[in-house]
C-alpha cells in the first residue's frame, strides 16, 4: 500500500464511507518493506500480535543490523534467534538497547513488554543441564512476548523425585514447555501430572542411537499422556512462541 492509498483509506473513514473495522481489515494485508536482501513484514504484529522475528543463522551482521533497525523503527521490540557472539557484538555496536542472552543465543533489541511478577507463569522444564540452551531459547522468547517464566531445570526421569518436588509449580503453570533429549520420556510424565497444555521439545542431546534427537521426537509424538503437543528438534523458539500465544489467548 502506497502513501496515497493509505491517505485515501483514511479519508474514506473520515467521510463515513468505510467503517473503522473495515479499514483495520484492509490494513492487515499491507505490504512489506523491500531491502533488496530481505522483505521486512512490518504488519505481522497487526496480523499475529508480534513483529517478525529475525533468524540470524545464514545472515551477515550488516543484514541483521539493517533488518533489526527497520523492525524497531516500526515496533517496540525486535527478537533475533540463533545469534552468535560475534553477531551480537556487531549488533550491539550498531544499535541501542540491545541485550544478548548468551545461552539462549537470542538478541532482544528495543523495549520488550513488562512482565507482571504476579501473572501465572509458563513453566520451562528440562530433563538435564545439557538441554538448557534450547530451554533458554524458549524461556527468553516467552518473556520477550510478555509472559512470565518459571524455570525448572535438570529434573529428568532418571531421578523422578527431583521433578515431583516441583509438583505445585507445575500445577500452577498456565502452560508447560518440556525440553528433553535422550529418550524424551519427561514430556509424558509431566503430561500425566497436570491439566495445563504441555509443549514438548526434543533436543539433539544423546548418544548415537538417539539419532540427533529423532529418538526423543518419536517418543514425544507417541506420548500416552493427553494434552501433549510436539515441536521440531531443538526448536525452543517455536515452543516459546506457541506458549506465549496460549497465554495471550487466555487473556482475551
Q: What is the pLDDT of residue 3?
A: 62
Residue 143 has pLDDT above 80, yes or no: yes
Residue 251 has pLDDT above 70, yes or no: no
Indicate the DSSP class of residue 76.
Answer: S
217: buried, middle or exposed (CB in 10 Å: 19+, 13-18, 0-12)? buried
Residue 1 has pLDDT above 60, yes or no: no
* Segments making up each domain of the chain, as ranges: 28-110, 122-251
pTM for the predicted model, two decimal places: 0.87
> What is the share, in percent, of the chain residues with pLDDT greater than 90?
74
* Confidence category of residue 29, pLDDT binned at 50, 70, 90: low
Dihedral pair phi/psi, residue 116, rounded to 5°? -70, 130
Half-sphere exposure (Cβ direction) of 203: Cα atoms closer than 13 Å? 27
Q: To which H or E segment does residue 57 belong? A: none
CATH code assigned to 122-251? 3.40.50.1970
Indicate the DSSP class of residue 117.
Answer: T
Distances (CA, A) of 178 to 67, 93, 127, 170, 183: 31, 35, 8, 11, 13
Half-sphere exposure (Cβ direction) of 88: Cα atoms closer than 13 Å? 17
* Confidence category of residue 189, pLDDT binned at 50, 70, 90: very high
Residue 42 has pLDDT above 90, yes or no: no
* Confidence category of residue 6, pLDDT binned at 50, 70, 90: confident
- Least confident window among 14-23, 142-151, 152-161, 179-188: 14-23
Q: What is the pLDDT of residue 169?
A: 94
Mean pLDDT of the chain: 91
Q: What is the pLDDT of residue 236?
A: 97
Strand partners, 40: 33
Give the contacts of 128 (CB within 8 A, at least 6 positions apart): 154, 156, 180, 181, 182, 205
Q: From CA 73, how far away is CA 174, in angstroms rounded?
A: 32
Residue labelled with grid coordinates 522475528? 53
**pLDDT tens digit sequence for 45-104:** 878 888 899 999 999 999 999 999 999 988 889 999 999 999 999 999 999 999 999 999
Q: Nearest-CA neighbor of 200 among 212, 216, 182?
A: 216
**pLDDT tens digit sequence for 191-217:** 999 999 999 999 999 999 999 999 999
Residue 248 has pLDDT above 90, yes or no: no
Indicate the DSSP class of residue 52.
Answer: P
Amino acid at each position: 500500500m502506497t502513501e496515497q492509498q493509505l491517505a485515501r483509506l483514511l479519508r474514506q473513514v473520515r467521510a463515513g464511507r468505510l467503517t473503522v473495522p473495515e479499514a483495520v481489515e484492509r490494513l492487515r494485508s499491507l505490504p512489506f518493506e523491500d531491502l533488496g536482501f530481505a522483505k521486512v513484514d512490518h504488519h505481522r504484529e497487526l496480523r499475529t500480535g508480534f513483529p517478525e522475528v529475525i533468524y540470524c543463522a545464514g545472515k551477515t551482521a550488516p543484514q541483521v543490523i539493517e533488518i533489526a533497525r527497520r523492525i524497531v523503527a516500526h515496533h517496540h521490540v525486535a527478537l533475533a534467534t540463533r545469534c552468535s557472539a560475534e553477531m551480537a557484538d556487531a549488533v550491539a555496536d550498531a544499535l541501542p538497547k540491545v541485550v544478548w542472552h548468551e545461552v539462549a543465543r537470542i538478541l532482544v533489541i528495543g523495549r520488550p513488554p513488562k512482565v507482571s511478577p504476579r501473572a501465572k507463569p509458563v513453566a520451562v522444564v528440562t530433563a538435564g543441564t545439557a538441554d538448557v540452551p534450547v530451554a533458554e531459547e524458549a524461556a527468553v522468547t516467552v518473556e520477550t512476548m510478555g509472559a512470565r517464566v518459571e524455570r525448572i531445570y535438570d529434573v529428568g526421569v532418571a531421578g523422578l523425585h527431583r521433578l515431583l518436588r516441583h509438583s505445585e509449580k507445575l500445577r500452577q503453570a498456565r502452560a508447560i514447555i518440556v525440553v528433553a533429549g535422550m529418550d524424551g520420556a519427561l514430556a509424558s510424565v509431566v503430561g500425566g501430572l497436570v491439566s495445563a497444555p504441555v509443549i514438548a521439545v526434543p533436543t539433539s542431546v544423546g548418544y548415537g542411537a538417539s539419532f540427533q534427537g529423532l529418538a526423543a521426537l518419536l517418543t514425544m509424538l507417541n506420548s500416552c499422556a493427553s494434552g501433549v503437543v510436539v515441536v521440531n528438534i531443538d526448536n525452543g523458539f517455536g515452543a516459546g512462541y506457541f506458549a506465549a500465544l496460549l497465554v495471550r489467548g487466555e487473556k482475551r
